[in-house]
Amino acid sequence: MGVNKAMASVFSPIDQMTPDQFERVTRVTDLGAVHGSVAALKRMKPRSRGTIVQVGSELSYRGIPLQSAYCAAKHAIQGFTESLRAESRHDRSHVHIAMVQLPALNTPQFDWTRSRMPRQPQPVPPIYQPELAADAIDWAIEHRRREVLVGWATVKAVVGNSLMPWYVDRYLGRYGYDAQQTDERVSPDRPDKLCAPVSRDYGAHGRFDARAVVEP
The packing angle between helices 152-163 and 165-179, to 10°, is 140
Q: Structural domain tally of the chain? A: 1
Model pLDDT, residue 208: 95
Q: How many CB atoms lie within 10 A of CB 44?
A: 21
Give the residue among 146, 140, 14, 15 at the shortest CA–CA distance from 72: 14
Whether 212 maps to a domain, the answer reads: no
pLDDT at 175: 97
10-residue block means of pLDDT along the chain (216 residues)?
Answer: 94 97 98 97 96 96 97 98 97 96 96 95 95 95 94 94 96 97 91 88 91 83
Q: Does a structural domain hold residue 22? A: yes
Q: Show Cβ contacts of residue 123 under 8 Å, excluding neighbours closer than 6 positions.
A: 104, 105, 106, 107, 110, 180, 206, 208
Amino acid 1: pLDDT: 83
Q: Range of 118's domain? A: 2-185
CATH value at residue 115: 3.40.50.720
CB 168, CB 62: distance < 8 Å: yes
